[in-house]
Structure 1
């Protein structure tokens, strides 16, 4: 019962998940917001687990995006190389 009251006073889960998303998205949070979120995460195992999943997914997606960007750059470089050779052959 005490946990539920503190949970409700500090920050409800619906607000905590929004704050987690903001924080991981690079949004600058005020000191009060950060403290309230930390307090909420300290008492709520569900939101704590949610935050871990958000961080994990963000890292994995960032890795995938970086790999795709490197591949695209390589494809562009290859195409430019081919175009340069075709132009030299024509001359």
Structure 2
């Protein structure tokens, strides 16, 4: 019961999954990182999500490294970064 209460009040799953995605795209604060690690210790569902997320990221990285490199200039890269960060509300 205590785990469930801490789980809901401290950091709900919806926020935990968002933090996992945010951590993959950029850095998260030490407070967010701490809250996420505590949540992952008590939530088996989010631990499973994290494992699947890591597998998918690894597959995508390998796939992208095998494909032909796409050339982008600095302004295109910065524009893409800003768009991603805006969507993540960082």
Q: TM-score of the superposition, structure 1-length normalised?
A: 0.72
Following TM superposition, the consecutive aligned residue runs of length 4 or more in structure 1 with deviations greater than 3 angstroms are none
Rounded Cα–Cα distance in structure 1 between residues aligned with 2:20 and 2:27: 12
Q: Deviations over 1:6-57 (max 9, x none)?
A: 10122000000000001112x1111110000000000000001101100110
Q: Which residue of 2 aligns with 1:37?
A: 36
- Kindly indicate whether the alpha-carbon contact (under 8 Å) linking 1:41 and 1:48 is maintained by their aligned counterparts in 2: yes
User: Number of paired residues?
Assistant: 70
Larger Rg belongs to? 1
Per the alignment, in what secondary structure is the counterpart of residue 28 of structure 2?
Answer: coil
Per the alignment, in what secondary structure is the counterpart of residue 31 of structure 2?
Answer: helix
1:9-88 correspondence to structure 2 within 5 Å: 9-25=9-25, 27-69=26-68
Q: TM-score of the superposition, structure 2-length normalised?
A: 0.72
